A and B are shown apart, each in its own frame.
Chain A
Amino acid sequence: MKRTVSQRVLCLLLTVATLFGALGITVGASNGEYKGENSTAATLEEMQNLVGVTSYEQYLAEYATLAKTPNRKTPIKIFFSTDPDYVYKDGEYNILDFAREWDQNGKQKYTDFIDEKNEQNAVLVKDSPICGPDKDSLGYETWNDFTAEDAATSVYLPSMGTAAWKINITDDDIGMYYIKFTYYSAKTSESSTSSIEKKFLIDDKIPFDEAGRITLDKSWEYDYNSKVTKVEISAAEYSQGKASISYNNPVDEDGGYVKTVVHYERNEYTGKFYRVTTVSSIRSDKNNNSMAPEAVAVPTWSTYTIKDSSGYYTEDFMFFMGKGDHFISLVAERDPVVLKSIELIPVEVFSDSTSSTLKAYSEYRAQHSGKPQGSGEVQLEAEFPDYVSDASVAASNDNTSAGTFPTNHSSQLYNVIGENGYSTVGQWAAYNFYVPTSGMYKISMRFIQNALQGMFVCRTIKIAGKGYTNAGEAAIIPFKEAADLKFNYSKEWQSEFLGDGNGTDFEFYFEAGQKYTLYLECSLGSLKQSIQAVEHSLSIINDCYLQVLQLTGADADENRDYRFDEILPGVLRSFLEQAKALATEKQKLEELCGSNGSHIATLDTIALLLVQMGSDNGDNVAKNMGSLKSYLGTLGTWINNSKQSKIMVDALFIVPSGTEEVPREADAGFWSSLWFEIKSFFASFWVNYDEMGLTGEISEDVQKIDVWLATGRDQSQIWRSMIDANDGYTNSTGTAAALKLVTGGTLLPSILSGKGPDVYIGLGAADVINYAIRGAVRGISGNDPDLSAEDNSQFTTKYYTYRDESSNYTTTTEERTDKGELTFVTKPYSELVLTEKTKSVIEGKEEQVFAEAAVDTVRLLNVAYGIPQTMSFSMMFYRMDVLANLNVGVPETWSDLLSCLPIIQANNMSIGVDYIAALDFMIYQKGGSLWKYTDASKYDPMYAGAKIDLDSDIALEAFEYVCRLYSDYSFPVAYDAANRFRTGEMPILIGGYCALYNQLVVYATEIEGLWEFCSLPGDFRDADGDGIEELHYESLAGVGATVILRGCKGDELRAAWQFVQWNSSADVQATYGNKMVALIGPSAKYEAANLQALEDLSWTASEKLAIRDQMNNMCSIVNYPGSYIYNRYMKFAFLDVVNEGANAKESLLGYIDAINSEITRKREEFKDRGIWYVGKDGQETPIEKS
C-alpha cells in the first residue's frame, strides 16, 4: 500500500488540528504514561514514525542532489561467520559482526548496537543465531543444499527480534545502492506457511514507505507422489531419444490424473546415458473427484533485491548511502530465515532509472535469426505446476467448458489453475519442460479472463534454463515485452499465442535435451501507473474528506455556509485537481483497453462528483459529503479489483514457430458443448456435491464414523484432504471418516430421528450445553452418567506424572531428566488438555492447550462435553495514522480511553465499542462474575448456576460503567464499524479480532499497514490482595466446539474420540488454519481455540503477541440451564438507560427476579439430571435424584 503524500497530508492535518486548538490539549492526556511492561500496542512514537514516512518518489527527490554513482564498482558485502574473534574485512570496510561476545551463560552479547528505545522488542538476534553455541538444536544437518560451511557462514534470524549490521561509508562510496539478500528459507519449528516478512530499517528508520516491509519468498511444490525411474541407455538411444510430457485422461480411469515426463540425461562425470521417467499424479476419490495435493515448502537458497512488492515499480529500489557509519537492521515480522549475506550493489546509472534495461523483442529475435524452426509439441497442463510462489496458487476444477482438459460432466477433476489465488502481483506458477529439437518455438495458452470487465490482466513470462540463466540462477524475463503480456476480457474461453497483441507472436529459442522452467507471474503491466495514480488520488481525497469532516461533523448541515473557500481552500483545489487526475486516468485506461467498460466508468462518476464539490466556492461540499463517503469506498474497491489480475489457465503449449493453428481450440464446438451441458444437467440430479464422503471404497471391517460440519465447501474440502493426507487421521488410526456438509439446523432433528452423525464440528458452546443437558451430547471427561463404565474408560488415557523437587508435571512423553521420578498415571484426556497446564518434561515449559475460559463454556458441572475448536473474542483496533495526527496514544485502560475522548470528539470522531460484548466482559474486568458461586461451589450441582450475580455491587458497577459510556460519553450505539474505521472517523474500535481483521484486510486495503490491534483496555485493581494493582483486561470468549453425539457407542465411540483428539490437536488446527489462508486468501484467518496452534498460524509475530496476550486474559459465560435469559434482560436494561435515561442500577435490578425465576423454572425441568434447584420459597431445596 502506498501513501505517496503522507507527509504533505500530515502537515495539512496538523494544520487543521492546530486550527481547532486540538493540539494544545492533547499532550499529556494519554501519552502512554500507563504503558505496562508487556503491552503489545504500538507507542505513540512508533505510530508517529510510521506516519512520517516518505514515499519512494519523495525519497528519490530528497536525495536527487546527493545521488551519484559510487566510485567503487564492487558490492559492499556483509558476511556472517562463526569465529568470534574474526572480523571480516572486505577491502577497507570494517564489517562489524555483533555475534562475537558471549556472556557467562553462553548466550551472546550484543555490544555495538543497542536500541535502547526498543529494548523490549528484543534488540537483535540474541536468542539463537545459528552461528551461536546452540546451532545444533536447529538440526541444519538434515537441510537440503545446506552444508556445514553454510552453517558456519550464515546467521539464523528467528521469527522475533531485530538484527542489525554496521557499515562504514567512505568518501569514495557515497552514492546510490541496490540492496540484495542471499537467504535460505529454512524450515524450523518457527516456520509457518506464509512467506518470510521483515521490517527493513536504515539507521533505525524506514528509508521510505515502500521499503518498510520486505517479503522474502519461499518456493512451494505440490506433492504429486512422484516416482522417478532412471534407466541406463546406449549413446545411440540417447541421441535418438526425444523428451516428452504426456497426460492420461483421468475421466474414466482409476488412480487419478497422471503426468508422465520422459527426458534423457548424460552424466557429465561418468559419461553414462540415462532415460529418466517421472510419473506424478493428482489422486482422485472414489467418485473420481480430484483431491488437492499437499503443498510443501521447499527450503532453497534464493536471493532477493529490495523492490516494490505492490508491483508499481519494476526496477529495484535504490538507497542512498551518505558518508559515515550506518546501521542496516532487519526486524522480524513473520517466519525465521537463514541469512548468508547482504550486498550493497552500486547503482551504475541512476539518473534515468525508470528506463528498462531489458532488451526489446526485436533485438532478442535478431539474436536468434538463423535458428531453425522447432518440432513436436509440448503440452503443459496448467493444473500441474512444478513450483508455485505460495500454496494459494492451486489447481481447481472448472466445468464451464467442454473444451477444457480433463473434463467430466459428473466429477470434479482438476483442470485449471487460478480460480482462487494466483491474482496478486508477484504470485507465480512454474512449469518444467524439455523440447524435442533445438529451435524456435511459440507458446500458446488457453485461458479465461472474465473478472475485469472491459480491461485486461497481465502476466510476466520468465524463463530459466540454458541460454537464459546459468544453473542455480533465478529465472529472467527474456525480453521487455514478456514482462507485460496482456490478456483481454471475454466471457468465453480464449486460446491464443503469446504475442504483442498486434499480430506478432513471440518466438523463443529452446535447446533440445535441456531443462527449461517457464514462470507465469502475476503483474500489473501497463496498468500500474494508472492504479498508482488512482491510489494517490484516493489518499488525497480521503484526507480532504477527513478535513471537511473535522469541520462539519458526521452530519454536515447543507444549509449552513461553512465558508469552505476561506477555511479550506486547499481542499476545494484538491477536489478539482483530483477530478482532473481521475478523468485523465480514465482516458488513459480507455486508450489502453480499447473499450470503456463499467469498471473504468466508475472513475468518471467519481470525478464528476469531485468537480461538483470543488466548484461554486464549496457550496456543494456539505450536501455531497454522504456521496463522497460512499464513493471513497467505491474507489477503494476499484483499486482492489484492478490489482486483482485474475485469470484461469487451462494449458500452455509450446509449439514450433511456424504453427498457425492453436493446439487447443477455445471452444469445444457447438455439438460437443451441447452434449456436455445436457450430461452435466442430468448428472446434477444424482451427484451430491456436498457429500465429502470417503476417498475410496472401504472394506467391511474398517471402522467408519460420520462427521458433520456446517461451514463452507472450501472448509470441508480442506478437512477432507487433511483426513486423507499421508499423516492424516485415516492413515494414523486406520479409521475412515465420512464428511458431510450440512446446514445449521439439521443437527437437532437428526439426533431425534437417530440419523445423526457421530461427530459434529463447530457447535456453539450454548448449544453444546443445551444438547448435553438433554443427553444428546457425550461427555468426554470419562464421567458421563449416561455412558457405560467401559465407554467412559475410553476417555481415559495413560499419562505420566513427573515429579521433581520443585513441582509436579503431567506429560504425554516418557522422557525424563536426571532429577526426579516418573510415575505412570491414568487420567482423562480432557483433564489434561482442558484443565491442567501441561508441561513438557524436557523443555520444562508450561503449555496451556486451551484457555480456561473457553473450556468453561463447554463444561456442565464437572463433565466436559466437547473440545473447543474456535474461540472468538473482542480486541481493540486502532488507526495509527489518525491517532498519531491527533497526538493520542493507544489507551491501555478505560480511563485512558475516556481521557482521550475529548480530543477525538473535538475532531468529530468517535470510539466504537460493541455494547453487547462490553456488558459481559466489563463484569469480569471489574472482578465480578455472572453466577453466584464461590470457587468451592463451582461444581456443586446445588449452587452452580442457580442464581445470577448481576445484583452484586461489582456487576451493577460494571453495568453502570458501560451504560455511562453511551449515555454520558455519547459513544455511538449503532455504527457501521468497518466503514467508519476505514474513513478514520472511528480511530479506535473494539470488535471481534478475527472477523474484523478478515473484513478489513479485503475491504479496506487502502489503509493497510495503518492499523493494528491490541488487547482491550482494562482496569487497574488489586485482585490478589498483595497491595499492588494489576491491569485486568479480560475479553469474552465465544466458543465453537467439536462434540460427540448420542448414539455413538463402543468401537464407534473410540473412533469418534480419536477423531476429536486428532481434530483438536495443535498441529491439525494450525494446518487447517494455514490451508484456509492458502486457499481463500488472507481474509480467511482462522480463530483456533487451541492456544498452541496460534504459534503456527500465519499471523505476524507482533499480531501473535497481541492475540496471545488477550488469549491469556479471557473470561466467558458459563452456560447453565436458563442462561439464555440474562442476556436479553441485560440488553433491555441497557436500552432503557440509553433510550429513556433510566437509572442504570435500578433498571438492571428490576430484571433480577425475572432472570432468577426463569433459571429456577429451567432447573426444575432438569432436576432428574442431577441438577438441584432453588425452590420458589427461596429455600434451597435439594431435589432427590429419581
Chain B
Amino acid sequence: MSRSKTEAKRPTQRSEMSKWQWTWKEMKRNKTAYFMLAPFLILFIVFTVLPVVLSMILSLTNFDMLNIPDFVGAKNFTRLFLDDEIFILACQNTLIFACITGPVSYILSLLIAWFINELPPKIRAVVTLIFYAPSISGQVYLIWKTLFSSDSYGWVNATLMKWGLQSEAILWFENADYVMPLCIVVALWTSLGTAFLSFIAGLQTIDRSMYEAAAVDGIKNRWQELWYITLPTMRPQLMFGAVLSITQAFGFGAVVDALCGFPSVDYAAHTIMHHLSDYGGQRYEIGYASAIAVILFIIMFGCNIVIKKALSKVGE
C-alpha cells in the first residue's frame, strides 16, 4: 500500500508535470536512444554549435588572437556595412557566385541524376562514378590550374597560340576578366557531389507502382510525371541537396585560393569567405572576421528558409 501511496504522489500525467519534468522523464524513458545519439551530439555541440555561438559572441568584440578580447558592441557590424567597400564587393561577388553556381549546379545535379537513372544499372554505376569523381578526388580541381596555366606552355595558352588566336600567354587566373567565369566553371565541375548522389538514391526509392497509378489517373507526359510524382516523392533528398548546394555556393573559398592566389586580382573573385580569412588570418582581427562569419551564417540561414518554402511548393 505504502508503495502505491508514494507512486500516487509522483506526477504521472503530462498535465501534472512541468515542461522540464516531462522532458526529463521522456529522456529517461528513451535513454537508449540518447545514449546512441550521444557520440554525435557531443561532437556536434562541441565542434559546430559552440563555435557558432562563440563567433557570435566574438563578433561583438575586438580580438586579435593573442590578447583577451574587449567588448565593442555592434561596432564591427556598423563598420562592415558602412565603412568597408571590399565587403560590399565581396557580398556582390558571393551573390553572383551563389546565384549562378547554386541553382545551376542544383538543377544540373537533378537533371543528370534523372537522366542517369534511366540507364541500365551497370552503365549507370560507371556514369555515376564519372560524374561524382571530381568532387571526391580532393584537390583534383588543380587540373584547371594546369589547363589554364599562365605559362606559355600551359595547355590552353599553348593551344591558343598554336591556332594563332593569341600571340602572348594569357594570365588566366591573374586576369580580372577571366577569374570569375573560370571559378564558376570550376565550381560547377566540382559541384556534382553528394547532392547528386542523394538525388540518384531518391530516384531509386520511388515506387514504380505510383507511376502506373498516376498513368491511370491521367498523367499525360514525362514532365507531369516528374512534377507530380518524382519530385514530391523525393522531397527529403531535394531538401538535403539544396542545403548542400547553398553551403557549397557560399562557402566556395579554398578552390579560388588555390587557383587564383589570395587575394584574387583586383578582388575579382573575392567572396565573403575570402574577406573572412583576410581579416582572420592576415590582419589578426578575429572580432571583425567573426562579424563577417555571422553575416554569412545569417545569409545562408535565410536562403535555407526560402528554399524550404520553395520546395514545399513542388508538386502543387
A555 touches B161 (CB 8 A): yes
Task: With CB as the reference atom, state the residue of chain A lying closest to B178.
Answer: A1139
Contact of B153 among A554, A1131, A1139 (CB under 8 A): A554
Instruction: State the interface size on chain A (CB cutoff 8 A).
Output: 32
Q: Given A558-B162, A748-B66, A972-B151, are A1135 and B168 also a contact pair (CB < 8 Å)?
A: no
Specify which of B66, B150, B162, B175 lies most central, judged by the most chain A CB atoms within 10 Å of its CB.
B66
- Bound Cα distance from A550 to B64, whole angstroms: 56
Interface string of A1119-1147 (1 = CB under 8 A from B): 00000100010011001101110000000
B280 to chain A, nearest CB (A): 11
Chain A residue numbers with a CB within 8 Å of B28 are: none
Q: A771 to B67, alpha carbons, bound, how many Å?
A: 10
Q: How far is the CB of B142 from chain A (nearest CB, A)?
A: 15
Produce 1/0 per residue, A749-763, CB < 8 A to B: 101100000000000
CB pair A1124 B283 closer than 8 Å: yes
- A to B contact number (C-beta, < 8 Å): 73
Chain A residue nearest to B172 (CB atoms) is A974
CA distance A437 to B122 in the complex (A): 75
Q: Does A557 sit within 8 A of B, measured CB to CB?
A: yes
Distance A770 CA – B175 CA, assembled complex (angstroms): 30
- When distances are taken between beta carbons in the complex, the residues of chain B under 8 Å from A1165 are 62, 285
In the bound complex, residues from chain A placing their C-beta under 8 Å from that of B285 are 1165
1/0 per position for B258-302, CB-CB distance to A under 8 A? 000001011000000000000000111100000000000000000
Query: Digit string of A582-607 for contact with B (CB within 8 Å is 1, else 0)?
Result: 00000000000000000000000000
Q: Contact: B266 with A1135, CB < 8 Å?
A: yes
Residues of A within 8 A of B64 (CB): 774
Separation of A687 and B75 alpha carbons in the complex (Å) = 49
| Interface status of A298 (Cβ within 8 A of chain B) | no
Chain A nearest CB from B174 CB (Å) reads: 5
Rounded to whole angstroms, the CA-CA distance of A1124 and B263 in the bound complex is 12
Residues from chain A with a CB closer than 8 A to the CB of B152 are 554-555, 972, 975
Residue of A with least CB distance to B168: A970
Per-residue CB contact flags for chain B residues 46-85 toward chain A (1 = under 8 Å, else 0) read: 0000000000000000101111000000000000000000
Contact partner of B158 (CB less than 8 A), chosen from A555, A751, A972, A1140, is A555
Give the contacting residue for A973; candidates B66, B150, B176, B266; CB below 8 A. Answer: B150
Question: B283 and A1139: CB pair below 8 A?
Answer: no
Bound: A972/B62 CA distance, A: 44
Q: Which residues of B contact A1139 (CB under 8 A)?
A: 171, 174-177, 265
On whether the beta carbons of A1124 and B282 are closer than 8 Å, the reply is: yes
**Do the beta carbons of A626 and B265 come within 8 Å of each other?**
no
- Whether B169 is near chain A, meaning CB under 8 Å from some CB there, is yes
**Cβ B177 vs Cβ A974 within 8 A:** no
In the complex, are the beta carbons of B168 and A974 less than 8 A apart? no
Chain A residues within 8 Å of B168, by CB: 970
Q: Is the CB of B177 within 8 A of A775?
A: no
Known: A752-B66, A1124-B282. A1135 touches B158 (CB 8 A): no
| Contact A974-B161, Cβ < 8 Å, known A775-B67, A1162-B283 | no
The 8 A CB mask of B143-181 against A (1 = contact, 0 = none) is 000000111111000100110000011010011110000
- The verdict on A976 contacting B65 (CB below 8 Å), with A774-B284, A1139-B176 known, is no
Residues 526-576 (chain A) with a chain B CB within 8 angstroms: 554-555, 557-558
- Alpha-carbon distance A1046/B68, docked complex (angstroms): 14
- Residues in B with CB closer than 8 Å to A976 are 151, 153
Chain B residue at minimal CB-CB distance from A1131: B265
Residue of B nearest to A976 (CB): B151
Secondary structure dominating the interface of B: loop
In the complex formed, the residue of A with least CB distance to B266 is A1132
A748, A776, A974: which has the most chain B beta carbons within 10 Å?
A: A974
> A958-1002 vs B: 1/0 string, CB under 8 Å?
000000000000101111100000000000000000000000000
A398 to B203, CA, bound (A): 54
| Chain A residues with CB below 8 A from B175, complex form | 1135, 1139
The 0/1 profile, CB within 8 Å of A marked 1, for residues 112-156 of chain B is 000000000000000000000000000000000000011111100
- The 8 Å CB contact of B174, one of A558, A975, A1135, is A1135
Query: How many chain B residues have a CB neighbour from A under 8 Å?
Result: 28
The residue in chain B whose Cβ has the minimal distance to the Cβ of A560 is B162
Q: B301 CB to closest chain A CB, in angstroms?
A: 28
Complex alpha-carbon distance, A557 and B67, angstroms: 61
Q: A554-B153, A974-B151 are in contact. Are A774 and B169 (CB under 8 A)?
A: no
Taking the nearest CB of chain A, how far is it from the CB of B254, in angstroms?
15
Contact between A748 and B65, CB atoms less than 8 A apart: yes
A1090 vs B298: C-alpha distance in the bound complex, in angstroms? 52
Question: Quick one: given A555-B161, A1124-B283, are A752 and B169 in contact (CB under 8 Å)?
Answer: no
Compute how far the CA of A79 lies from the CA of B167 in the bound complex, rounded to whole angstroms. Answer: 66
Q: Which residues of chain B have C-beta atoms less than 8 A from A752's C-beta?
A: 65-66
Find the B residue at minimum CB distance from A1162.
Answer: B283
Distance of A976 Cα from B150 Cα, bound (Å): 10
Chain B residues with CB under 8 Å of A1132's CB are 265-266
Once the chains are docked, how many angstroms separate the CA of A751 from the CA of B65?
9
Chain B residue at minimum C-beta to C-beta distance from A777 = B66
CB distance from B140 to the nearest CB of A (A): 21
Cβ contacts under 8 Å, A1135 to chain B: 171, 174-176, 265-266
Cα distance, A666 to B168, chains bound together (Å)? 60
Q: Does the CB pair B174–A751 fall under 8 Å?
A: no
The CA of A1140 and the CA of B178, in the complex, are separated in Å by 12
Q: Is the CB of B171 within 8 A of A774?
A: no
Q: Which residues of A contact B153 (CB under 8 A)?
A: 554-555, 626, 975-976
Tell me, in angstroms, the Cα distance from A161 to B220 when the chains sit together: 97
Chain B neighbourhood of A555, CB < 8 A: 152-153, 158, 161-162
Taken together as a complex, chains A and B put the C-alpha atoms of A345 and B177 apart, in Å, by 73
Q: Is the CB of A974 within 8 A of B65?
A: no
Q: How far is the CB of B210 from chain A (nearest CB, A)?
A: 53
Closest residue of chain B to A556, judged by CB? B162
Across the interface, do A749 and B65 meet the contact criterion of CB distance under 8 Å?
A: yes
CB contact between B66 and one of A751, A975, A1131 (< 8 Å): that residue: A751
Which chain B positions have C-beta within 8 A of A1124?
282-283
Interface string of A1132-1170 (1 = CB under 8 A from B): 100110111000000000000000000000100100000
Distance in angstroms from B160 CB to nearest chain A CB is: 9
A555 to B154, CA, bound (A): 10
B residues near A970, Cβ cutoff 8 Å: 168
B70 CB to closest chain A CB (Å) equals 11
Shortest Cβ distance from residue A247 to the other chain B in the assembled complex, whole angstroms: 47
Cross-chain contact B65 with A1138 (CB below 8 angstroms): no
Contact bitstring A1047-1069, B, C-beta under 8 A = 1, else 0? 00000000000000000000000
How many Å from the CB of A981 to the closest CB on chain B? 14
Chain B residues whose C-beta falls within 8 Å of the C-beta of A771 in the assembled complex: 66
On chain A, the residues within 8 Å of B282 by CB distance are 1124
Query: By the criterion CB–CB under 8 Å, are B162 and A974 in contact?
Result: no
Determine which of B67, B149, B177 lies in contact with A774 in the assembled complex, contact meaning CB atoms within 8 Å.
B67
CB distance from B292 to the nearest CB of A (A): 16
Q: Contact at B66–A974, with CB atoms within 8 Å?
A: no
Which residues of B sit under 8 angstroms from A1046, Cβ to Cβ?
A: 66
Q: How far is the CB of B182 from chain A (nearest CB, A)?
A: 14
Other than the given A554-B152, A774-B66, A1124-B283, 15 more pairs (CB < 8 A) read A555-B153, A555-B161, A749-B65, A774-B284, A775-B66, A775-B67, A972-B152, A973-B169, A975-B153, A976-B151, A1135-B171, A1139-B171, A1139-B265, A1165-B62, A1165-B285
Q: Would you mind naming 20 contact pairs between A and B with Cβ atoms under 8 Å apart?
A: A554-B152, A554-B153, A555-B161, A558-B162, A626-B158, A748-B65, A748-B66, A771-B66, A774-B65, A774-B67, A974-B151, A974-B169, A976-B151, A1046-B66, A1124-B282, A1135-B175, A1136-B176, A1139-B171, A1139-B177, A1140-B176
Give the 9 A-B residue pairs with the shortest CB-CB distance, closest first: A974-B150, A774-B66, A776-B66, A1139-B175, A555-B161, A974-B151, A1135-B265, A1132-B266, A774-B64
A residues near B, CB below 8 A?
554-555, 557-558, 626, 748-749, 751-752, 770-771, 774-776, 970, 972-976, 1046, 1124, 1128, 1131-1132, 1135-1136, 1138-1140, 1162, 1165
